[in-house]
Chains A and B, each alone.
Chain A
Amino acid sequence: MGDHRDGTPQHSGAVVTSDGAAKNQFPDPGLPPHRPRVTDVDPKAAKRAERQVVLLFIISILGSILFFIAYFGIRVDGPIYDVVNTEPTSQLRLQNLLLGLGIALGMFGIGIGVVQWARTLMPDHELVEERHDVRTEEQRAEAQEILTTIYDESGIKRRPLLRNTLIGAAILAPLPFVGLLRDLGPTDLTVLRHTIWDEGIRLVRDPSGTPIKASDVTLGSAFHVVPENLSELGHHDGYLDEKAKAVVLLMRLDPDKVNVSADREDWNVDGIFAYSKVCTHVGCPIALYEQHTHHLLCPCHQSTFDLTNECEVIFGPASRPLPQLPITVDSEGYLVARSDFHEPVGPTYSQRGFAVRDMQGEAN
């Protein structure tokens, strides 16, 4: 076969290759002559290769034994990551290392041994196998005939009513299973509008749950805050769901450095501001506060919010400022919320526009 393209089934005559002249190409010289390996000609080398492979198999056996030595021989008793007693953690590391090494040697010994066996001792003559077409024309014709017979004998063509009702039934039959998916979750979207913040709810520290006095919040501090009534919720009453919406970051800024719009003048306490910690982009907690630049940064996608301008976005993929929680001080001097957030917190969803409109209506 001088040129392999000659034998190719030409299904499309449209292909043009450079001047198409097969004569103008080098002839296929065929498979290169076989070059014998050392192990083929030298029995000593073959013996040596055999010994190598045996050695590898023995290494594998030793590796598996190593695994059991590590598994039963090393005792990891005691606390992990204790600040003083670091011995058990080191033991665990050693055990993990030896288990891994044992299995790795067990596997490598077999794998490398078998491959080495194949490379050095099994024949390395390249063989040629002819390809066949994926299917021949006769086969196709035969298959088509069989299909036609099946089609005819079933009588589908002659009895259209039979066919149509079957199609109808077949379409409907799986639908119950789609319907069963309905109760995967509720469809009441109003839950997304509200958090458990409300008038008079104290701001408490996360995770200790202690309330915060305005005087505690010194310039430059940042407090991670949850509503006091969160702790009343049990794990099964939506504790995490509510926490996921209600988390707030509390900071004190120099009031002279902050721009506050007219309708939000009474939302802060002497420069103490509370903002939703849930990013308006895709909802990561915005927790990185730079006390001198007054920037809040999201570690997930680097949206940066400017605290001095009501958390407007100054960098990154977020499109909306963080919602602000209006706060004030109660009679005991503790920080409390004036109300819930005035817009849904967290990432955007399609129906958010209606929520905002309704909530502004409520507020007025």
Chain B
Amino acid sequence: MSSTTDYEYQPRTRSGRIANFVDTRAGVSPMVKEFGRKIFPDHWTFMFGEVALYSFVILLLSGTFLAFWFDPTMTSLEYHGSYVPMQGVEMSGAYASTLNISFDIRGGLFLRQLHHWSALMFVMALSVHMLRVFFTGAFRRPRELNWVVGCVLFLLAIVAGFSGYSLPDDVLSGNGLRIADAMLKAIPVVGTYMSMFMFGGEFPGLAIIGRMYIAHVLIIPALILIMIVVHLFMVVVHKHTQYPGPGRTENNVVGFPVGPVYAAKAGGFFFIVFGILALLAGTTTINAIWNYGPYDPSPVQAGSQPDFYMGFPDGALRLMPGSWPFSWEFTIFGWVLPMAILLPLIPIALLFVAMFAYPWIERWVTKDNRVHNVLDRPRNAPFRTAIGAAAVTFYAVQMMAASSDLIATHFHVGLNDVTYWLRAAYFLGPILAFIIARRMCLALQRKDREIVLHGRESGRIQALPHGEFVEVHEPLDEYKRYRLVDFEDYQVQPARANAKGKVTGMEKMRGRLSRWYFEDRVAPVTPQELEAAHGHHDDHEAVGAGSHKAQLDK
């Protein structure tokens, strides 16, 4: 290739020479060209995915350090470390090494707490990120598959957390595994064998910690990493969504270039997240396993709870009455069906199925298959916001139920009463949340209309010549106004006959759902309406003019 050297680019600066060296060997200039000035929109709600990603990186880091000292064995030994109340106590190697990390490795306690706080932060940030994506409609075409990848990540994060929670082999996590064992055994016919396979025989056996360990440090992190790569690759392909506003369309991205602004902010944010977690780990105890003692099947303690992300199945189990009004354990030809365990898990399973399928459900109901790069403000999609609020409430009630005993002691109410109330909330809560959230969205939309039509209340009172007092309203500038009027106004899509001229049952249901979604809605202000409002300034009729009844009558 001597002929090409004549044309070879000769950099002048030192950094240029280094860059050139790398580029001629690795060919990175197309990547720099592609990503160097890629635009990312800037909004605080877009940062939670990053928090999750950074927490994951910190998990990998702190987890690697812990693995240097952690001994994932269930072989029994006698403890002789620094922790006095366990001196001479028989315990598994896993528990003893966790005590050693906490008390005999310098900074080990910090690393343990950093790892555990990062795990909580990881699942929390991931959940908040999912909520943001859901409530703003970011899962719509073309991002449906990335939503599914995100849901898979959510499940993987829960499994990663639970497997890690179990590793120290203390009484608390051991009872957690005990519950997992019973839930497996509840699965009809095959469940018992699944439990025997998982534990290598009867519970607790001698195998589970080693198996959990390999899952926790290799299999699940690898899966999470693959999913994160796929997730980010798709983000690059799709480019980021953006909120509606002046200058922002379906066909552009408005924001800051990766280099230097966005890279500096996102990079700096990694250190900030690290700082937050280090601060938590340095100041706040988490999972004081030395209090719980080594796993032994006999003891148990008040306040036996899983980490928060496992709270919802635990709470579901607590809410189910097992013997009221009859025993929920059925025997069918000798096979026993423990419905007290299975029944409360069914709605949770359905919730997850609905979560995965939601982009397609919404597309089917709205018949909207267009590309959406501009997000909805949650108030402008009252139907979706209400569904989300109902689902969150359903989840939250079960999560609260998992701490029913602590609610009872800390609010000085009866434990049983807490359960009764939460049972009612399990059914009524989501319905109420749906109604309230939808009404709130509609009210906020009306407020937006009011502001667009009459301006903001300035707080200045003016006395008119005839003695009337009015408050001066300041009209919006066109940018602020555009932010409030730029949204789509869906209409009911009644059931229609198919090609054969028949209205199928499915289609009828879709029609009903569509009516349910869009019957109540508030339309954006039109220029004509604004003009009319300016004409009759004190005519408040105009505010409601866009609301549904008027629209439907048209």
Chain A interface residues (CB < 8 Å from chain B): 1, 4-5, 7-12, 14-19, 24-26, 28-32, 71, 76, 78-83, 88, 92, 95-101, 103-108, 110-115, 117-119, 122-124, 126-131, 133-134, 181, 184-187, 189, 191-192, 206, 224, 226, 235-236, 238, 240-241, 243-245, 247, 277-278, 281-285, 287-288, 299-303, 312-320, 346-354, 357
Question: What CA separation (Å) do A219 and B187 show in the bound complex?
Answer: 41
A17 touches B491 (CB 8 A): yes
Q: Encode B324-362 as 1/0 by CB contact (under 8 A) with A.
A: 000111010011111111001000000000000000000
Contact partner of B491 among A16, A299, A350, CB < 8 A? A16
Question: What CA separation (Å) do A121 and B301 show in the bound complex?
Answer: 55
13 further A-B contacts with Cβ under 8 Å, apart from A81-B290, A185-B199, A281-B341, are A11-B370, A11-B371, A29-B247, A99-B282, A107-B272, A112-B271, A122-B261, A128-B254, A243-B298, A284-B178, A285-B300, A301-B318, A350-B335
CB-CB under 8 A for A319 and B329, given A28-B482, A108-B275: yes
Report B-chain residues with C-beta under 8 Å of the C-beta of A186: 196, 201
Residue of B nearest to A126 (CB): B254
Report A-chain residues with C-beta under 8 Å of the C-beta of B297: 240, 243-244, 247, 278, 285
Total A-B pairs in contact (CB under 8 Å)? Answer: 395
Report B-chain residues with C-beta under 8 Å of the C-beta of A240: 204-206, 295-297
State how many angstroms separate the Cβ of A157 from the closest Cβ of chain B. Answer: 29
B493 touches A14 (CB 8 A): yes
Report A-chain residues with C-beta under 8 Å of the C-beta of B233: none
Task: Name 11 A/B residue pairs within 8 A (Cβ), A-sorted.
Answer: A11-B371, A18-B489, A103-B278, A131-B373, A185-B207, A241-B203, A277-B298, A282-B183, A282-B341, A302-B404, A350-B188
A316 touches B178 (CB 8 A): no
Question: What CA separation (Å) do A247 and B203 show in the bound complex?
Answer: 14
A12 touches B367 (CB 8 A): yes
B322 touches A28 (CB 8 A): no
B300 touches A8 (CB 8 A): no
Question: What CA separation (Å) do A223 and B254 show in the bound complex?
Answer: 70
Report B-chain residues with C-beta under 8 Å of the C-beta of A351: 192, 335-336
Report B-chain residues with C-beta under 8 Å of the C-beta of A245: 202
Q: Which 8 A-B pairs have the closest CB atoms?
A: A100-B282, A111-B271, A4-B249, A114-B268, A31-B247, A282-B182, A347-B182, A244-B297
A25 touches B282 (CB 8 A): no
B182 touches A71 (CB 8 A): no
Contact partner of B249 among A28, A226, A283, CB < 8 A? A28
State how many angstroms separate the Cβ of B360 from the closest Cβ of chain A. Answer: 14
Report A-chain residues with C-beta under 8 Å of the C-beta of B323: 312-314, 318-319
B204 touches A15 (CB 8 A): no
Report A-chain residues with C-beta under 8 Å of the C-beta of B419: 302, 315-316
Report A-chain residues with C-beta under 8 Å of the C-beta of B524: 25
Q: Encode B226-260 as 1/0 by CB contact (under 8 A) with A.
A: 00000000000111000000111111111111001
Question: What CA separation (Å) do A18 and B488 show in the bound complex?
Answer: 8
CB-CB under 8 A for A24 and B203, given A111-B275, A283-B179, A353-B336: no
Contact partner of A350 among B75, B189, B301, CB < 8 A? B189
CB-CB under 8 A for A134 and B238, given A30-B247, A206-B298, A347-B186: yes
